[in-house]
Amino acid sequence: MMQSERELPAGARIALAVVLSVVLAAAVLALSTKDFIPALGQFFFEPFANRYFFGNYIADSVPLMIAGLGVLIAFRSRNFNLGGEGQIYAGAIAAGMLALSLPEHSSPVEAWLFAALAGMVAGGLIGTLSGILKGFWHVSEMISSFLISAIVLNVGDYLITGPFQDPASNFQTTRQVSSQLLLPRILAPSKLDISVFIGLALIVVFAVMSKHTRPGFELRVCGENEEFARYCGIPVALYQSAAMGISGALYGLAGALIVIGPQARVMRGFSSGLGWSAISVALLAQNSEAGILPSALFIAYLKAGSDHVMIGSGVPSEIISILQAAAMFFITARHFPIRKRRRP
């Protein structure tokens, strides 16, 4: 017998990641609970059990769609944005403070637009800083985005628990945004709101721009062959900075929509894990805008199932981290070892 490697196509890696994540989920449940069958039902079926659970499941997928799209844009320029957590936090704080500063009789549509814009600007500026450091000074965007994010998270925690904290609350949170300025709900009483249509629209817009516009084509060239792009006169540094800026802006928008949507305030640590989950979404999408929607739904499904089984059977919430890690491992595995028989 001899061992060799065969490259797995993208579709096979995705299918393998999904199947093995599901199998691993069942294995973890079997090992961590005595009531295996009820826990299995809670994990796999309760997200669809009723209008409330289903609406909450879809709502959890919306920020993953938008933030995952941001990661994909960074990937397309051969950048890796590890600052998602801080960019989401910054976008949420900017949107929340702007919404809280508006009078209650303000137009809801104007409030939504200004809050979303504030979130995008805050996240975009942070992402652009890492892009400029990479494009013009060749500083690793992974290191700079991660370190800047750590600073933003600490500054954000200080603001939420200090000058912006709600004095009437015992929790570490800002004041609540007026209910009149929040995004309208759909599938009540779930937390799903009209931001789902924003996420879907962004996927379509970026898919069209990527395939049918000059900037989209030049961005792909920059990511696929940087030297060739320079030879063709494409401003590589500018595209790298812009891609990181757009990535940060989408992260910031995701945070803003959470604040003017189901959360209605900025709570300390609310973004925990969302930035990393968005990376899982982009990896699962395999560099395709069309893949963002099913990828976000799948990662949100793992989270929803984990939440249900944690409440119903007491299984630790860390199960979602295990499943995401397994999914990312198999998505990024490009080769699969196989054994061949030697011919006599």
φ, ψ at 315 (rounded to 5°):
-75, 135
Q: What is the pLDDT of residue 37?
A: 83
At position 290, the amino acid (one-letter code) is A
At residue 40, the pLDDT reads: 83
Distance CA 180, CA 105 (A): 8
pLDDT value at position 1? Answer: 44
pLDDT at 65: 96
For the chain, list residues with pLDDT below 50. Answer: 1-4, 338, 340, 344
Residue type, 130: S
pLDDT at 2 (0 to 100): 43
pLDDT per position as a tens digit, 112-131 = 999 999 999 999 999 999 99
- 102's CB contacts (< 8 A; 6+ apart) are 111, 114, 178, 181
Q: What is the pLDDT of residues 3-24, one digit of tens each?
A: 445 556 666 767 777 787 778 7
Work out the number of other CB atoms within 10 angstroms of the CB of residue 181.
Answer: 22
The pTM assigned to this predicted structure is 0.90
- 314 phi/psi in degrees, rounded to 5: 75, 20
How far apart are alpha carbons 79 and 140 in whole angstroms?
Answer: 9
**Cβ contact 271:255 at 8 Å:** yes
User: What is the model's pLDDT at position 303?
Assistant: 86
**Phi, psi for 165 (deg, rounded to 5):** -70, 145
Spatial distance between the Cα atoms of 144 and 285, rounded to a whole number of angstroms: 25
**Peptide bond preceding 47: is omega within 30 degrees of 0, i.e. cis?**
no
Q: In terms of C-beta density within 10 A (0-12 exposed, 13-18 middle, 19 or more buried), how is residue 18 classed? A: middle
CA distance 178 to 258: 14
Round to whole Å and give the CA distance between 291 and 281. Answer: 9
**For the structural domain made of 2-340, what CATH number should be given?**
1.10.3470
Hey, which bits of the chain come out as E strands?
Answer: 2-7, 335-340
Domain boundaries, the chain: 2-340
